[in-house]
Structure 1
Amino acid sequence: MIEKINLNNILFLDIETVPEYKNYRGLDLETQQLWEQKTQYQRKDEVSAEDFYERAGIWAEFGKIITISVGYFINKADIRNFRVTSFWGEEKKILQDFTNLLNTHFNGAQHILCGHNAKEFDIPFIARRMIINEIALPDKLNLFGKKPWEVPHLDTLELWKFGDYKHFTSLKLLTKVLGIPSPKDDIDGSEVAHVYYVENDIDRIITYCEKDVIAVAQIFLKLRREDLLIEDEIIHV
């Protein structure tokens, strides 16, 4: 029962990713060929591998992480706070800083990671990019040999499915139906690469990512039938 979980033990997270290179021409010939093979069934016949490269950020083999945002509750007595922070910059440093956070503050048996579609996207993407960047997996991401009930991850998409495995609900739709302020009031995921490579506006992306983290926490509260966070309870650090 999610009502029994101590909110202070949950690390809410979201990531933003982009193609590893600004454009297709940044890839060497072999990687271009591998990209073409990887996406041949996703692309329509009239769409070339080069034109499709703008979507490379959804694959860890061809994309990279540009920010990881996290949020966590600090509830004491009748005072409730939700702290939000982000890691950004060079990808390897982002991953190292995130690893340090997990290893120093969220490494206990009671600690849980939570995101929206995080089990399918965010967490595997982070783990794969850590391996690529030669960073040791923290225990919370090292799932080798673990049974399903031993995996310390929660997913608001999975919670909303209620066992319906064919059902997908976007974060934007779920916040709408639950009466939660939308995190997609500026940009959405399809625009992140343009904002990053063309507009060079990482602050805008960080704000967007942090809004997603807050939205996931709000959904979790809603599922527990608890009051939503108000602005004064959210602290950006």
Structure 2
Amino acid sequence: MLRKNEIKNVLFLDIETVPQYEVWNNLSNEEKELFDLKTKYQRKDGYSAEEFYLRAGIWAEFGKIVCISVGYFKKKNEIETFRVTSFSGVDERKILLDFKCLLDNHFNQKHHLLCAHNGKEFDFPYIARRMVIHQIELPEKLNLFGKKPWEISHLDTMDLWKFGDYKHYTSLKLLTHVLGVPSPKEDIDGSEVADIFYKEKNIQRIVDYCERDTVAVAQVFLRLNNQPILNEEAIVKIKKEAFRPLFNQ
């Protein structure tokens, strides 16, 4: 666990993803075949690849990122706040470049850490894979090539909750409940994000959902460090246009 004064070095994040295409028929024949092979062991008997395509967003090879929300703790005038902002939209490459800019310019020191719920299995590798696909040079915090385990600057609230039990999976919703953290799931859940993106075309609704999860991850982290959680007044939303001077505010 971190000492209280070290929590300012942690960047908390969450991502929302959707299938690369709205409908199955937009895939090429080769993509359909590859998706069929990728998912054959996950699909139940009689469940076609086309029917399973609704879940394509969970794989970086067949999905894309529509929102990355980030947050960090900032103390000003003896008042602790949590500042959160998002990179979102239909242009995934721009989302990734903006996030890379944040890491490269404001979060590139050895003592800086990234934290997400199930981040080691999902968020961190997903972002890195999509960057590679877009031919974006990986920021140091996501470039794991040649690094030893203790050199990787990643924290994972689900991993911390396991306490060494590798068979254990706990959702963020369950963990917030047992730890007495306000639930982030007030409007939608992950299974609805694709429809909201493609059919409703309501990016702001996805951003709000993603930011609530980011706040929840930070609150869970506080509880795991035996620190009091923040009240609503301490949570400050920053417009995405202000992300460049984020850590100077």
TM-score bracket, normalised by the shorter chain, equals: over 0.9
Q: CA deviation at 1:4?
A: 5.6
Q: Distance in 1 between matches of 2:105 and 2:74?
A: 16
Corresponding letter in the other structure for 2:95: I
1:139 maps to 140
Q: Deviations over 1:191-228 (max 9, x none)?
A: 11111111111111000000000000000110111111
SS of residue paired to 2:141: helix
Q: Deviations over 1:34-90 (max 9, x none)?
A: 000111111112211111100000000000000000000112462101100000121
2:158 maps to 157
2:85 maps to 85
What is the correspondence of 1:67-106 to structure 2 with a 5 Å cutoff? 67-76=67-76, 78-89=78-89, 90-106=91-107
Q: Percent identity?
A: 63
1:176 maps to 177
Q: Deviations over 1:128-182 (max 9, x none)?
A: 0000011000000000011111000000000000000000000000000011111
Segments of structure 2 that go 5 or more residues without pairing to the other structure are 239-249
1:198 maps to 199
1:42 maps to 42
SS of residue paired to 2:166: coil
Paired residues, number = 237
2:244 maps to none
Corresponding letter in the other structure for 1:37: L
TM-score by length of 2: 0.93
RMSD: 1.0
2:16 maps to 16
Q: Deviations over 1:106-137 (max 9, x none)?
A: 00011000000000000000000000011000
TM-score by length of 1: 0.98
2:209 maps to 208
Segments of structure 1 that go 5 or more residues without pairing to the other structure are none
SS of residue paired to 2:121: helix
Structure 1 moving runs of 4+ over 3 Å: none
Q: Distance in 2 between matches of 1:196 and 1:227?
A: 35
Q: Distance in 1 between matches of 2:178 and 2:27?
A: 42
